[in-house]
Amino acid sequence: MKIVIVGDGKVGFALSAQLSREGHDLVVIDRELSVLGDSSERLDVLTFHGNGVALKTQQAAKVGESDLLIAATQSDETNLLCCLVARRLGCKSTIARVRNHEYAEQLALMRDELGLSMTINPERAAAHEAFDLLRFPSFMHTDVFAKGRALIVEVRLKAESPYVGRQLRELYELDKIRALVCVVQRGDETIIPRGDFSLLAGDKLFVTAPFYNLDKLVRLLGVETRRIQDVILVGGGRIAYYLAEDLIRAGIGVKIIERKMERCLELSELLPKAIIIHGDGSSQRMLLSEGIEQADAVVTLTDMDEENLIISMYANYLKVPRVITKINRTEYNEVFRDKGIDCVLSPKDLTVDTILRYVRSMHNAEPEAMLALHRIAGGAAEAMEFHATEGTHGLGRTLKEMRLKPGTLIACIHRRGTAIVPKGGDHIERGDSVFIVAASAHKIAELNDIFAEGEQPPLSL
């Protein structure tokens, strides 16, 4: 597809890099030449220097002939106007990054008039991600699928776990748990394992399980559990506001430490049930005086990665049960994890994942469109959800009879309200929602992409 990206900042560059790898014809527009230089040197993209809102710039970039325009500048108003101009020129679809929560109602009312296919608020998405991590404190990361009936969770296997040194089939067969370890990260290696794979202490597991099996899964893996009751948020920006709203609705106590007095006053009006503290959240004295040692969780949300890292490392040192760190420079994630920073929150990555899912779904007719996309294991693997239609290969055949591409597996089947973690004797029916996990190199765009070459066509039912 021909895709135009307006704004070559962190989000724009990350999108360009991913979409370029997937073979799309990309044009990047930005008014800063110095910013465009990096993209033109490192990526297979065409760059335009100019104002992305200007009609002459969009005409020069042939926006009217493109399939999609993504407006990702720092200004919500600029992004909305870019999309409006692009649709008037004939661009088929537009996506705008809109961060101001005050625009939400207007956008819902005027989506068609503005020519918007989708809007995305990175801060709200990050807040929802953090809330899920706090709802399920046993896990390093969670993604929900199958209409909320199942999850894929990330957990590190501790040395005291009874499964250290045992094969995965023992988890499935001996303990009768309906769960599937779909990815294992061991050091720098990412593995999509088989039943004879043996687990080691320190392995990072990505496990698919229905909600009703989570308690048993946590117990068997020897993961420590603790209900979150009080949370300290360091930094009072948009993510903190959205997250505090979610936490307060869930009956969880919230304290926000913010260094700007003006913002503290705003938050006290917006969040009357939260405790707002004016002070420097990076100060050890401030953190101790506000009870960091007694907190169930700390979420670092300042605008500086370095500050968030230092505060999180201090919270880990004090053995705060749950620590979540907002980081923009996710290319250093593996370095951070070596320092004990396991739960990383990245608005940029969440934005890229959401847009990537939309782009892939544009390849397909509506019934086969991708329903969900979650990049896992540092981007080395992807978890995707699709509808099974009459065109899906192998309908009615057991999974053990199917031939899948190496590095792919079927992790869950959602059928008439029930989440099924499949075994070899299970099958796919038309109308099922099928959750699959695959190595990122496969670039799965539709469900049939997981099958090996020469897989038989669907059976007639």
Q: What is the DSSP string of 163-221?
A: TTT-BHHHHHHTS----EEEEEEETTEEE---TTPBP-TT-EEEEEEEGGGHHHHHHHH
What is the β-pairing status of strands 118-120 and 93-97? parallel
What confidence score (pLDDT) does residue 343 get? 85
Cα–Cα distance for residue pair 346/325, rounded to 1 Å: 9
Question: pTM for the whole thing?
Answer: 0.78
Treating both helix axes as pointing N-terminal to C-terminal, what angle do 122-135 and 347-361 enclose, rounded to 10 degrees? 110
Q: Alpha helix (H) ranges present in 97-179?
A: 104-114, 122-135, 168-173
What confidence score (pLDDT) does residue 133 get? 86
Strand, helix or coil for residue 313: helix
What confidence score (pLDDT) does residue 332 get? 62
What confidence score (pLDDT) does residue 456 get? 46
Q: Of all helices (H) and strands (E), which one includes residue 78? A: helix 76-89
Residue 13 DSSP symbol: H
Residue 267 DSSP symbol: H
* Residues contacting residue 327 through CB under 8 Å, at least 6 positions apart: 305, 308, 309, 333, 336, 341, 344, 345, 346
* Residues contacting residue 5 through CB under 8 Å, at least 6 positions apart: 12, 15, 16, 19, 26, 27, 28, 29, 69, 70, 72
Residue 159 DSSP symbol: T
Cα–Cα distance for residue pair 80/75, rounded to 1 Å: 9
What confidence score (pLDDT) does residue 16 get? 93
What confidence score (pLDDT) does residue 458 get? 39
Cα–Cα distance for residue pair 183/440, rounded to 1 Å: 12
Domains of the chain: 2-120 (3.40.50.720), 227-320 (3.40.50.720), 356-450 (3.30.70.1450)
- 408 within 8 A of 436, measured Cβ to Cβ: yes
Other CB atoms closer than 10 Å to residue 365's CB: what's the count?
Answer: 10
Strand, helix or coil for residue 72: coil
What confidence score (pLDDT) does residue 459 get? 34
Residues in the chain predicted with pLDDT less than 50, given as ranges, are 365, 367, 456-461
What confidence score (pLDDT) does residue 222 get? 66
Other CB atoms closer than 10 Å to residue 390's CB: what's the count?
Answer: 11
Q: Of all helices (H) and strands (E), which one includes residue 18? A: helix 10-21
Residue 21 DSSP symbol: H
Q: Alpha helix (H) ranges present in 222-346?
A: 238-249, 261-270, 284-289, 305-317, 333-338
- How far is residue 3 from each of residues 15, 25, 286, 358, measured CA to CA in Å? 11, 6, 48, 12
